[in-house]
Structure 1
């Protein structure tokens, strides 16, 4: 599988010495009346079918859970957009959720003439340049769209998928692909295929102008995203002629303002044809049955010639191209190279190994020479392996007092080392060993399987799976000379250098808000097609409950409790030491936990420890959360003893290193400064402020003075003493309980008696007495609004109704909130609202709601959400869909592996000793809409809220916000605590 997808497959060690040619060959087989191709020795046992009409079907069976990850992919993305209508493929992706002549409509005969008029108006609008005339035409579009919407059933596709128990309903468009994604129960194959076959038969582009506004919002969100701007600037300069750089996936502002439904329809007709599409299934199903049903359902599709995008050959870059990008977020530097594309499979394998030598997270050149030695705030490597070209980039962030040019020179210095071959060739062996670990992990996930298979189809039309299956073996054959030659050929001065500078972006062109009248969504309407799909038979799946007394074995390792679940699937282990104390007990714990990665011992340097872990394909992590601190050691069981012993040696014998601490403090100071520039971090802090008050978990940080006063001695003492505190040992792996107990007893040092836990500071959620507005200023086009309200203390008896309320009210695309805010009123691209349950029995529930909109729509957005928070609309069919979805989710959920143990620990924190899903499942059929309404009325409606608003004062006036409550402008120092 593709390295960039992290989907690499386990190759059996007994046959490693065989050549890939002997192990892996294309073969033909016939089963259930259909012929398919497969690769010998493919651990995914993928079957490749080509139906008579050219449709590719790829099936990989995995019986682990009664669910199936499905993908339907089209080999067309923004590369294929017409030059005068960029963003068109992405538009179309959105419209494929709007239904057809058979679903999504109350009366197609009456709806069609109105939609025809809308299409004609858009065509006129597209060709009109006079501003006033355009406004008049758009007013007609708005009016006619409203009339057509009276016959539309918004989100009927989502309702059908939710009703059959689908999860993760989504789609994405990129440069070479458009992919539609669903995770369905194994029992829903017939229902799923019936819906999908109809979905692609003759899609109707209804409710277009509100969906267009959602795309506008998506564009504006991108304009506020400095990372997105860096990405687009990188591609624009790397590819001056290729569509990779000249046609952004979301489209230009000008083209977004001038959409053409006729052009979108033409794109659909040209590219959504069977010989340009693939259906991928990965999960629990009968492949003979599935291929027959796909053939029956999609046989109507007719093969057509497809005009593929023919890429121009880019002229070589002969000297660095230097550009700057401005925005409010933290500064960084990026160097990007244009490499051979994924179709050049030999180069792709070499580049994979090369990139891992530079950076693999543990023992690469940049990992050891830059990150481990703290010469920069952070440095990394990334690749984008597209068909025609691969983008290879190095990025770095400056520490305190460092310039971006200094970071650039350090990054280029690592390339110099690579080009000179100054690295140990044994690193290649270690890379391959670690990829075997990734292979095992990749096999466990249906999503990983499906995405890898689809990726192969998009790039190679599924014809080069032999290359994918042999990938790890081919990596092992790469030589040092090949790497050095490749680096010298492609990594000279032929790069694009981008500086992300802090400052005002004067080139931002916002997509202006058009006047939109809210449209009907007809929540309770149902088409005959929906009813026919719902009536299709399905074999019920019985839910499986955890029995913590039977599913978890319990023992003792010295004084520590041991929780054990055996891994019967593969040779991986995961070992945890879990302490019931974190930053609420000692604010220095997170600092000490992060400091450990820079420390050595009397026997090994920090770099040597990283190399040793990487060489045995194992890793460790020490994290300190608010109330728990966790040590995680993972890897291949064959190296369990080495990994556990090495970590124990490190934490017991790590030596104070003042130089490392000085560098670490510098990086902490810079990270803190950068966090104050990040809108996501600022909003997280605002929500915490609203939830807990001025002193809260988010700003529970060491002050600058406290940080400066920290010594290496006190941090290492804290690390040395950590194992002497009470902790639970958790093991998931192939060894039996007795063997595991003996091994951990021998390898993990413990005291004769544990120390008492450090006392923890408690943060209590506030009780809002009146409306309040917490405002933070940020230079952005959008405005983001969060509603926060704390509720009652946790009660397990409420779990079923809380879950049902969230599913119905604001938890997905078919929910009341999404339909109203986005589908009907076009006020936001992203919106939600739910009643969040706490994770411990003494904590409170919380109402959390969100709308992200253009700044000039913020008042409308707030009013729209407030209306829903005040009155919950009743929609009987939507309610039944939410109930059905909730039941099917529970029926097909399988908690496995170490998830069983963490489910048990989570239940303990809530004061439970059984799997609460059982009582929820048994209760859900007894719940009515009145129960959900009662929850809404008692906990949400008419209550005071804290409004957390992040926006630019240049676009929003604080005085205008006073109508929502007392306004407090919260400073960054108040938010972050430093």
Structure 2
């Protein structure tokens, strides 16, 4: 399940042709025997079809890549869950991957009686009270499930999609929607539709109790996530009667423990009907062919009346409602308002402009008054534009020595500025210009196109697409008075105030693990339906490899080498200065890059520089990595000269400011403290410790003493000197090579000769001699385990077998690892295992594996993964699917635009001068399972590993972990280096 922030998506549907054509209207047309509607001036040229059975189809053609983003959406989510079965829509989403009577089963007639028994047993379990009685019923469920699984083919859906070259197989459930996602090759339309039509015809809810365990794990992960707890508390408070707040998408613990297959089937029958569903496709296809094939494939669906959720009217909030959430992560504060929903299009446009005036990343009130002036650690806004109501929220984090109430007051002060109209009305024009930029960028993505269309269907069945297309035009008409009126009406004392405080959350009750016997997965079994789909004809896509000598033009920009690719699609440019130096050369470089955003020059203040960049719809960033630093300047080509000249002026003339540095040090100290409370940061640091040893890239940080002694003059000197070091210039934009070269030479100041690169620290991956356990204590329900082992030095001749191994073994939902750990043994919600390729010639491969499980299952989870690391199961069918998937990924991958240059630079680091993908593609057909097995035996099986374990000492025994190797409890200071 995921949550989508949709402001940018809404923008993508606005009109690119606004200057040339200010009027948009619905029109009708016919093609290929089908009538459709469209909006004049729609840059996506979206077609809206309604088939005879009520099924909505929305198509947007984009020939950029030979792939298609597909979405199949249902207008039903957690809002529609029965009150006594919350989480049901989400359960159903998971079960729609389990197959039907025709796939996912070895013998449906023999499997069905067992599944009927399981359905009845769950109904009995649902009504049974008393711990012993419930255990007895569940033991029956477990036993019968084992018998039923002997006839099931686990992950057959994933195998079919992988075999046809699909990527991003996924689904999500939210409050008003359930959406199924696939990214397919353009040649796989017929196969895709055959599988999807069958999938939704009569789904079978098989392998249910292990999938139920995966949902338990998902729930427990949420209990460990302070951000999710804040989100759910916010909604419950804003919506005391509406299901937005009263029914969480994943469901309550009690309901998760008492599922009903009967209720799930009833939900499916009520909502999964054609007049409540939509198919969206965006990408490279013939719309006339596609609509005919969709009609043929889904004509079996019968229209039914759908009872939509009737939204209650929430009482007005007349004074602040205060709530507190406790947990181990860093503190923050949120101020949330409830207002009219997305169907109130007039208010929605005003709110978009208002939110950008508050925060747009550069020139908003929060950006300039709080973030730029370092009055808080960080502040921003977010919006949830749902059908019935919209949630608008401000959030902030406190710096060192600052209370959350101080942050709250600062946030509310910015809202007060809005109400009073104390902002420059010209900011609205700049916002519109930047949204036009976002729109051009977004149109390149099939995913953005598809999500925009699906969002329109979920909210209003696509009927308001006219409003979406005219969105930017409507934004340009918003006035300062409208903003003030809106702020005074909707942003008063009618808010929910949430404090995220550090402390123990005593309300957490995890979903307990029932005893589960591992079930059969029948890896090599195949249904007749799968064979039929595999045999369907398809036209092969011819792969396209890069020829670095032809696809990149080379020149000079002053003394710097210039790598050039022309943008022939639109009026955007991306300019980069790439230095072969990073934090391994100078630990102060990342701080200098951060410092730059707060500095002014003798000519402009820092605020004026931010405003100038925002006004011309351009942007800059300085990104120091470990070994490279990349400066990027991007935006509209018409403002190229202004943007490049302005950045050059900034970096060469920025002025030291000790007061700004003092504020930055304060914020950094707080951020560093917060990092030590973040479990993802801690686990990342443990992995780096395991990979490189006690001194590693993760903790290559300034000590507290070094940070405190840092001066503004030191950082400014680093910035002033940076352009004097050797760097490569990369240009992607509309200008010809000669024009670009001349402009950059004129605008970008360079010395007569470059300085030599600074000396670089070397971090070498360790060679593990013995098993070791690196343990970090964290207050959490779950336990997270990473396996780390460094392998041999990079060998380009191994690239094909490494890629094939990862596809087969542990890189996806159809892999051996996922099938075993999650599908068969129900030990984790998330798991993977990959043999990771290094990014430079002299570096080593690394075997990385992961399981996130309940703390009381940690030994089972470790044993399950260890078994796979030591003995690789052989499955001929899985192996052929992995090979087919790899080939189709390569056939349909298109590296374009500035990606060509970065592919070239990455190849250089590996010591290559050609596109390695060509060698992989030409080699993979000759590989046998024995090649994959050999890689496993030589590099993975029976080898010592470092186990990186993040868990609560209250739930995991350190003595118990000694059986895996020498246990070292790693302190936060050792992990972070400060």
Q: Deviation of residue 557 (structure 1)?
A: 1.1
Q: Deviation of residue 47 (structure 1)?
A: 0.3
Contact 1:6 1:442 (C-alpha < 8 Å) held by counterparts: no
2:19 aligned residue: 16
Contact 1:7 1:448 (C-alpha < 8 Å) held by counterparts: no
Q: Distance in 1 between matches of 2:634 and 2:322?
A: 42
Q: Deviation of residue 17 (structure 1)?
A: 6.8
2:48 aligned residue: 48
Q: Distance in 2 between matches of 1:917 and 1:647?
A: 37
Contact 1:10 1:440 (C-alpha < 8 Å) held by counterparts: no
Q: Distance in 2 between matches of 1:65 and 1:319?
A: 53
Report Cα offsets for 1:87-108 as digits up to 9, x if no partner. Answer: 0000000000000000000000
1:730 aligned residue: 730
1:615 aligned residue: 615
Secondary structure of the 2:254 match is helix
Contact 2:11 2:435 (C-alpha < 8 Å) held by counterparts: no
Contact 2:8 2:438 (C-alpha < 8 Å) held by counterparts: no
Secondary structure of the 1:707 match is helix
Q: Distance in 2 between matches of 1:36 and 1:121?
A: 48
**Does residue 855 of the first structure (1) align with residue 855 of the second (2)?**
yes
Q: Deviation of residue 16 (structure 1)?
A: 1.9
Q: Deviation of residue 60 (structure 1)?
A: 0.3
Q: Distance in 1 between matches of 2:635 and 2:306?
A: 46
Q: Deviation of residue 633 (structure 1)?
A: 0.3
Q: Deviation of residue 407 (structure 1)?
A: 0.2
1:822 aligned residue: 822
1:444 aligned residue: 444
2:30 aligned residue: 30
Q: Distance in 1 between matches of 2:467 and 2:846?
A: 51
**Does residue 265 of the first structure (1) align with residue 261 of the second (2)?**
no
Report Cα offsets for 1:484-521 as digits up to 9, x if no partner. Answer: 00000011010000000000000001000100000000
Q: Deviation of residue 717 (structure 1)?
A: 0.7
- Matched ranges for 1:747-762 at <5 A: 747-762=747-762
2:650 aligned residue: 650
Q: Distance in 2 between matches of 1:416 and 1:43?
A: 38
Secondary structure of the 2:597 match is helix
Q: Distance in 1 between matches of 2:8 and 2:433?
A: 17
Match of 1:3 among 3, 7, 24: 7
**Does residue 543 of the first structure (1) align with residue 543 of the second (2)?**
yes
Report Cα offsets for 1:752-787 as digits up to 9, x if no partner. Answer: 000000010000000000000000000000000000
Report Cα offsets for 1:790-829 as digits up to 9, x if no partner. Answer: 0000000000000000000000000000000000000000
- Matched ranges for 1:191-270 at <5 A: 191-270=191-270
Q: Distance in 2 between matches of 1:460 and 1:603?
A: 50
Contact 2:172 2:180 (C-alpha < 8 Å) held by counterparts: yes
Distance 1:9 1:645, change over 3 A: farther
1:961 aligned residue: 961
Q: Distance in 1 between matches of 2:598 and 2:11?
A: 30
1:519 aligned residue: 519
Q: Deviation of residue 9 (structure 1)?
A: 4.6
Gaps of 5+ in 1: none
2:357 aligned residue: 357
Q: Distance in 1 between matches of 2:154 and 2:359?
A: 47
Q: Distance in 2 between matches of 1:325 and 1:17?
A: 51
Distance 1:787 1:816, change over 3 A: same
Q: Distance in 2 between matches of 1:320 and 1:928?
A: 66
Q: Distance in 2 between matches of 1:463 and 1:10?
A: 15
Q: Deviation of residue 12 (structure 1)?
A: 4.6
1:504 aligned residue: 504
Report Cα offsets for 1:267-313 as digits up to 9, x if no partner. Answer: 00000000000000000000000000000000000000000001000
1:891 aligned residue: 891
Q: Distance in 2 between matches of 1:518 and 1:6?
A: 45
Contact 2:14 2:468 (C-alpha < 8 Å) held by counterparts: no
Report Cα offsets for 1:53-106 as digits up to 9, x if no partner. Answer: 000000000000000000000000000000000000000000000000000000
- Matched ranges for 1:568-717 at <5 A: 568-717=568-717
2:807 aligned residue: 807
1:977 aligned residue: 977
Aligned Cα root-mean-square deviation (Å)? 0.8
Report Cα offsets for 1:713-740 as digits up to 9, x if no partner. Answer: 1100110000000000000001110000
Q: Distance in 2 between matches of 1:765 and 1:306?
A: 59
Contact 1:7 1:449 (C-alpha < 8 Å) held by counterparts: no
Q: Deviation of residue 10 (structure 1)?
A: 6.5
2:921 aligned residue: 921
**Does residue 530 of the first structure (1) align with residue 530 of the second (2)?**
yes
Secondary structure of the 1:348 match is helix
2:425 aligned residue: 425
Q: Deviation of residue 11 (structure 1)?
A: 3.8
Secondary structure of the 1:598 match is coil
Q: Deviation of residue 559 (structure 1)?
A: 1.3
1:836 aligned residue: 836
Q: Deviation of residue 936 (structure 1)?
A: 0.1
**Does residue 778 of the first structure (1) align with residue 778 of the second (2)?**
yes
Q: Distance in 2 between matches of 1:285 and 1:273?
A: 26
Contact 1:786 1:848 (C-alpha < 8 Å) held by counterparts: yes
Distance 1:454 1:608, change over 3 A: same
Q: Deviation of residue 6 (structure 1)?
A: 6.0
Q: Distance in 1 between matches of 2:178 and 2:623?
A: 38
Q: Distance in 2 between matches of 1:81 and 1:97?
A: 20
Q: Distance in 2 between matches of 1:715 and 1:253?
A: 52
Distance 1:12 1:866, change over 3 A: closer
1:138 aligned residue: 138
Q: Distance in 1 between matches of 2:659 and 2:614?
A: 25
TM-score with structure 2 length normalisation?
Answer: 0.99
Q: Deviation of residue 3 (structure 1)?
A: 2.3
